[in-house]
């Protein structure tokens, strides 16, 4: 069966077309720029099922739904967070309050190894979730991502002004405001990477995903980088 999987995040909207377990095509676009034509290259494929994991908001969900109906005549299935799914138990009293991207990534990671996992999603925000060997979600953290850290300093601190074109991940102490902000954020990111690496033991598998996931993975020099982890959870949650 040909299945289209969509991961609509706060910053990027990603999709991949799967024929059973085989990847046919994948792509991404800025979420704010998404329109029906964004997926026009897939229109000739005989898509039979469309699964969506979205934290992009109601308006974007309507756009995705309209695009799918227009291109294939299929109403997509939107994943929802629940109390239990595929052997994983949610720790939230109100499961609907958890972002579905976290839920999808946790389930995908757990089903890959069927033992305790730490799941790190480095997107606009960095989320860290812990699942026990018995599949019980033990809680997690939500931390500003690299871009959010830098933007919040610029937006919320009147005396902080710096060159936003400055790039790189240098971590030496800054000798001007731009360096102090950029290197400081890089330092925190690296500190988190090292802390998470230390938490993972022989009985716990560490999974990393998200737009800055590859960078986090390179700093850890351990764990598994799985860029499509959220989409991999869709087949379990949307059953």
Active site annotation includes 121: no
Q: What pLDDT, on the 0 to 100 scale, is given for residue 173?
A: 82
> Whole-angstrom Cα distance, residue 49 to residue 42?
13
pLDDT number for residue 50:
98
Instruction: Tell me the sheet residues that pair with 14.
Output: 7, 28
pLDDT at 234: 98
* Residue numbers of the chain with a pLDDT score lower than 70: 154-169
C-beta of residue 19 within 8 angstroms of C-beta of residue 44: no
Can you give the pLDDT at residue 158? 47
Q: Is the pTM of this model over 0.85?
A: yes
* Beta-ladder partners of 122: 126
pLDDT 10s digits, 171-223: 788 777 777 878 888 888 889 999 998 888 889 999 999 999 999 999 898 89
Single out the catalytic residue among 101, 121, 129, 212.
101
């Amino acid at each position: 069966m040909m299945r289209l999987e969509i991961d609509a995040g706060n910053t990027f909207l990603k999709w991949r077309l799967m024929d059973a377990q085989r990847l046919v095509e994948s792509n991404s676009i800025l979420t704010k720029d998404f329109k029906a034509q964004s997926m026009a290259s897939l229109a000739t494929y005989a898509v039979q099922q469309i699964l969506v994991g979205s934290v992009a908001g109601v308006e974007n969900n309507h756009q995705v739904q309209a695009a799918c109906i227009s291109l294939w005549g299929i109403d997509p299935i939107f994943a929802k967070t629940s109390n239990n799914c595929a052997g994983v138990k949610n720790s939230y009293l109100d499961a609907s309050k958890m972002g579905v991207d976290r839920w999808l990534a946790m389930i995908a990671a757990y089903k890959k190894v069927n033992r305790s996992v730490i799941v790190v999603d480095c997107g606009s925000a960095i989320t860290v979730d812990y699942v026990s060997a018995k599949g019980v979600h033990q809680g997690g953290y939500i931390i500003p991502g690299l871009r959010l850290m830098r933007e919040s300093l610029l937006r919320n601190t009147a005396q902080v002004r710096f060159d936003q074109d400055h790039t790189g991940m240098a971590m030496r102490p800054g000798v001007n405001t731009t360096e102090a902000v950029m290197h400081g954020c890089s330092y925190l990111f690296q500190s988190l990477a090292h802390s998470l690496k230390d938490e993972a033991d022989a009985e716990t598998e560490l999974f990393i995903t998200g737009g800055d996931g590859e960078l986090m993975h390179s700093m850890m020099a351990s764990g598994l980088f799985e860029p499509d982890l959220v989409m991999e959870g869709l087949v379990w949650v949307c059953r």
